[in-house]
Amino acid sequence: MKFIIQRDKLVQSVQDVLKAVSSRTTIPILTGIKIVATEEGVTLTGSDSDISIESFIPCEEDGSENVEVKTAGSVVLQARFFSEIIKKLPMDTVEIEVQNQYVTTIRSGKSEFNLNGQDAAEYPHLPQVEEQNVFRVPTDLLKNIIRQTVFAVSTSETRPILTGVNWKLENHELICIATDSHRLALRKAKVEAENNITCNVVIPGKSLNELNKILDDTNELLDIVVTENQVLFKAKNILFFSRLLDGNYPDTSRLIPAESKTDITVTTKEFLQAIDRASLLAREGRNNVVKLATLESDTLEVSSNSPEVGKVVEQIQSNSIDGEELKISFSAKYMMDALKALEGNEILINFTGAMRPFVIKTLHDDSMLQLILPVRTY
């Protein structure tokens, strides 16, 4: 194998596949990056068995030359060293050449590295994904869907299925739900699906977080392929494979209240900042709880009390309060997470009493919903 490559393209691709490489792995060769050079270009692969990422650098792209392949071939190089070396090389191009015994020469200007490599034939094969169930989403919409749900997955392994996000596709509508059983995030989106396919899978939160990091914020369509135990995201020059979580996702539809007793509309930013301030003292107690009460004249009061440190109280002018008076306590962190995930300047909160879950939405937008279980303190 021998090729000359534009260094910035190589650095970007290595950064992408590196997201799948873990230093803690039981399969030693997975601490490496597989490099394959063919007539078409150079393909890099990183994997930790759960997530696999493949990045392709075509020889030519948009009329400019990225790679000149002298001899086709392949090798596996230590991911950490390879990525640090190419970042610090002195010139804009890099020559990579496999010598005897997989020792690989990396040349740039007067700098020459010889890295011990491994046989690419020993690198595990990527999952085989049959492209039967394919649907399409614009990349920027996918990034939003991930951002607005994945934060709500459980971080505890007591119910492993809750560490993933439930993706259900039916009638060209994708519904994504994440919950840690204290709060829930739901996002719906219309997607392009062939043959009106359906699916109901659970994607690990960690996979979605890594996927989000490597996707560009473009409106290009991205193909999503779902099989029984794998999902594949196909972006331009990037394939992202993730294993799916085993088991049935709980039915969350009954959790979401159909009616409400107190409805509040308030400016998102103002409300978020008041909760943030109140949480400064709440953080001292482990539960991070703030209180919300309705007052006269559409006024809200956010407060928190930490006997050892002090107390905080703040009034906010809401845009409207309809229905019953309310005093309720909840986690400031969950509320801030929910408010940051929602879009729009104004939010609507539907309460069904101080002991029932409540729902937060962007005003006049039903595609997103955040639900929080209150804490008993009043």
Evaluate whether 245 touches 331 at the Cβ level (below 8 Å): no
Considering the complex, state which of residue 109 and residue 247 has its C-beta at the smaller distance from its own copies: 109
* CA separation for the pair 200, 296 (Å, rounded): 46
3-state secondary structure of 131: coil
Residues 154-213 that bind its own copies (CB under 8 A): none
75 makes contact with its own copies (CB under 8 A): no
Residue 116 makes contact with its own copies by CB under 8 A: yes
Q: Binding segment for its own copies among 29-37, 104-112, 135-143, 188-196 (CB under 8 A)?
A: 104-112
Q: Are strands 104-108 and 93-98 parallel, antiparallel or unpaired?
A: antiparallel
Nearer to its own copies (CB atom), residue 207 or residue 288: 288
Closer residue to its own copies (CB): 79 or 184: 79
Residue 58 burial by CB count (10 A; 0-12/13-18/19+): exposed, middle or buried?
Answer: middle
How many other C-beta atoms can be found within 10 angstroms of the C-beta atom of residue 366? 8
CB of 284 to its own copies, least distance (A): 8
Q: Binding string to its own copies for residues 248 to 287, with x set by CB under 8 A, is what?
A: -------------------------xx-xx--xx------
Is residue 28 part of the contact set for its own copies (CB under 8 A)? no
Burial (0-12, 13-18, 19+ Cβ within 10 Å), 86: buried
d(CA 12, CA 214): 10
**Amino acid of residue 141:** L
How far is it, in rounded angstroms, from Cα 145 to Cα 189?
A: 8
Q: Applying CB under 8 A, does 110 fall inside the site for its own copies?
A: yes
Using rule CB under 8 A, residue 316 touches its own copies: yes
Q: How far is CA 286 from CA 111, 233, 305, in A?
A: 54, 39, 13
Spatial separation of the C-alpha atoms in residues 232 and 51, rounded to whole Å: 10
The one among 113, 168, 206, 346 contacting its own copies by CB under 8 A: 113
State which of residues 39, 64, 90, 258 lies at the interface with its own copies (CB under 8 A): 90
Closest to its own copies by CB, 150 or 336: 336
Of the candidates 187, 117, 111, the residue with the CA atom closest to the CA atom of residue 371:
187
Q: How many residues bind its own copies (CB under 8 A)?
A: 30
CA distance 135 to 190: 10
Q: Of 92, 112, 173, 246, which one interacts with its own copies (CB under 8 A)?
A: 112
CB 16 to its own copies: min, Å: 21
Cβ distance to its own copies smaller for residue 68 or 337:
337
Instruction: Check residue 315 for interaction with its own copies (CB under 8 A).
Output: yes
Residue of the chain from 263, 314, 337, 346 that contacts its own copies (CB under 8 A) = 314
60 contributes a contact to its own copies by CB under 8 A: no
Nearer residue to its own copies within complex by CB, 116 or 132? 116
Residue 101 binding its own copies, by CB under 8 A? no
Q: Is 85 in the site for its own copies (CB under 8 A)?
A: yes
Nearer to its own copies, 56 or 81 (CB): 81
The two three-digit tokens of residue 288, written as one number = 């991070």
CB closer to its own copies, 295 vs 355? 295
What sign does the CA torsion over 149, 150, 152, 157 have?
A: positive
Looking at this protein, which amino acid is placed at residue 47?
Answer: S
CB 54 within 8 A of CB 122: no
The interface mask with its own copies, positions 38-57, x = CB under 8 A, is --------------------
- Rg (the chain; Cα; Å): 25
For its own copies, the binding residues (CB under 8 A) are: 78, 81, 84-85, 88-90, 103, 110-116, 273-274, 276-277, 280-281, 308-316
